[in-house]
Structure formats: C-alpha cells, structure tokens
Amino acid sequence: MNIEQTLDPAQPARPQAKGGWHAQLPDDKDMLRAARDLTKDLAEAKGAIYWPDMLLSAGLGYACIAGAIVVDSIWAKFAVGLVGALAFYRALMFIHELTHIHKKALPGFRLGWNLLVGIPLLVPSFMYEGVHTLHHKRTQYGTIEDPEYLPLALMKPWSLPVFVLVALLAPIGLVIRFGLLVPLGAMIPPIRTLVWERASSLSINPDFRRRPPEGEIRPRVFWQELGGMLWAWTLIASVFWLGWAPVLTAGAILSLTALLNQLRTLVAHLWENEGEAMTVTAQFLDSVNVPPPGFAAEIWAPVGLRYHALHHLMPSMPYHSLPEAHRRLNRELGDGSTYQSANHPGMFTLVGRIARSTMTRGASRS
C-alpha cells in the first residue's frame, strides 16, 4: 500500500491541523502487519555481537585518546582524535539499545557499558532510560511531552546551526553537572529538583521536565550519579598533577563525539510536526531511514540508527537485526510503498531539506 492509498478519497477534506498535513495520516495496516509478521525471528539480542562491538569501540576510543595525548604533530593529533571520536560515538550509541532491550537480555551488559563508557563519558544510562521511551509513546511523539522532539523544520533558520554547535559544550556541561551540581543538590533539595527535572536526560525539548525516578531505576540513579561525581572530581583533580593538555585533548575528542551525535539527531527526523499527536504511520514518515548501498551512514548513524524510521515501527528490534528486517520489508512491500517513502539518500540531502524548510516556513513565522 502506498501513501495515496492510505488517504480515503471518499472522506471530505478537513482543515489542516496544527501538526501539518500528515499528523493524522491513516495508518498503513499492510505495512504495520508486515513489520510484525516478517520479523518475528529477528527479535533476539545476541550478546556475541553486542559485547565485542561495544568493547572494541570503547577500547579504540581510549587508545586514540592516549595516542592523541602523546603524539607531537598537530595533524597526527587531529587524525587520531577523529578516529577516537568516531569510536566513542559508536560505543556511546549503545545507550540507545539499553533503553529498548528486555531487562533480562544480555546479563551484565548495562553494568559493563556504564563502567566502561557511560560513567567515564559522564553519560550514564539513567540519562536515557525512562526518557527515550517517551519518544516512542503513541500519544506523545512530536508533542510538547516528547523530550526528543522539536519542530526544527518550522523554526527560524538560525536555529539549526545553534542546535548543532551547542553540542560542542557538552563535556564542560557534564563536568559541571556531575562535579558541582550533584553534590550541591545532595545538600540543597531545590537544586537537586532543578537538576533532575532539567539536566538529567538527553533531551532536546527545552519544555520537557523529567518526573522523579521510580521503581528499579532509583537505585541505579544513585550509584550512577555517585560514580559520575567521583569521576568528574578525578578529571578536575588530574589537572593539578598531569596539567591541562591531557584533559583538554580528551575534552576536544568528546566534544567532536557530541557534535557527531547532534548532527545525526538533526537528520533522524524531518521535524515537521508542531505539537499534534500523530498516527504510527505519520510518525514513521516523519522519521528517517538511510539504507545501503551507501556506507557513510554506517559511520554517522551507527548501531542501527541509519534505520531510524524502521526502529520507530519496531522499537525493541536489536540493532544487528535491522538490516535484515529492512531487506524483508523493502522486498515485500515493493516500490512506491509507504515503507519506501521513509528512505532517504544521505545526510546532506536531509540537512538541505530541513534548512530549506526553515527558510520558507520558519522564516515566515512571527
């Protein structure tokens, strides 16, 4: 079924909703059924893939930080640092998997990831767990209650470079959060409340306020914040016995990692909704797949994120199964289908589309 077939010509045209023409696009039931029926055998998260991928990515990242510190040539520092930023970027993106895999799958992986990646990078898993799943809620995607949605395509043109470049400050902000605000919050409850509501999640919606932690995540928050605080103090103290160069080198690499992630976030959706609840098919079409044959997307959208629209159809599908799921659905649904409408050729095309929208629709807004 294609997009035109999902629109019933017998129905009278209704006024355009605030969310845009597609917000209440009827669900393509053929696509949803195929996504359910054709991928049942792909749902198991395989530790033999997760563990080596995460460990090798993190190990390469740390090796590159060490290499960038000891080499003298500025060009060598840049080359090694770029590889390190990409490696850490891939390792960091496993936080996305942690929010979706079943809690009994991959025993020890959450702990291992937090010890090796989350706490050292000051992005422990609690900053995504319990938050990212709100982005997948049927009635919250694209609304003011979605922590990971902004109508970027409808905003002013200057908002795009600001959105991307502010990510360079992430390492500094995280050191302040864990090294200063966490201990202050332990002594001053209002600060604790403010930090939790506004600075405890990897969200991009400035209106989002996080609710207090509940259930099994509460003890994890305590231990992860404690670990982050101690590590932030260690980084600050290291300046006094190692000097500024190692910390600044590591910080520059991790700033580049944050920039890469922000660029990927910029093109993860089309960002054309403005607050209205959307059907599943509308959410899918507002999201982005960048499938093969191109290889570049595997670098800037690693760990399955090049199949972001498909992920919105099947959030719990492990990243290593998404390529095969995509092949099956693409083959089954065929050319001109709703499924293929979410496929895009690459980052530059997507950035251009969003930028053009800001210069037309965004610039005309008061």
Per-residue model confidence as pLDDT tens digits over 324-346: 999 999 999 988 899 999 999 99
Determine the pLDDT at residue 362: 60
Determine the pLDDT at residue 365: 61
232-247 tens-digit pLDDT: 999 999 999 999 999 9
Please tell me which residue, 8 or 261, carries the higher pLDDT value: 261
Does 152 score more than 90 pLDDT? yes
Determine the pLDDT at residue 23: 66
- pTM of the entire predicted model: 0.91
Mean per-residue pLDDT, 97-107? 90
Q: In this structure, is the dihedral angle defined by the CA atoms of residues 289, 290, 292 and 296, taken in order, positive or negative?
A: negative
Does 63 score more than 60 pLDDT? yes
How far is the C-alpha of 318 from the C-alpha of 108, rounded, in Å?
17
For the ranges 13-27, 88-102, 202-216, the lowest mean pLDDT is seen at 13-27
For the ranges 8-17, 155-164, 221-230, 352-361, the lowest mean pLDDT is seen at 8-17
Does 9 score more than 80 pLDDT? no
Does 84 score more than 90 pLDDT? yes
Q: How confident is the model at residue 25 (pLDDT cuts 50, 70, 90)?
A: confident
285-320 tens-digit pLDDT: 999 999 999 899 999 999 999 999 999 999 999 999
Determine the pLDDT at residue 11: 30
For the ranges 15-24, 88-97, 199-208, 278-287, the lowest mean pLDDT is seen at 15-24
Q: In the beta sheet, which residues pair with residue 287? A: 269
How far is the C-alpha of 264 from the C-alpha of 269, rounded, in Å?
9
Determine the pLDDT at residue 26: 87
Please tell me which residue, 16 or 366, carries the higher pLDDT value: 366
Does 22 score more than 80 pLDDT? no
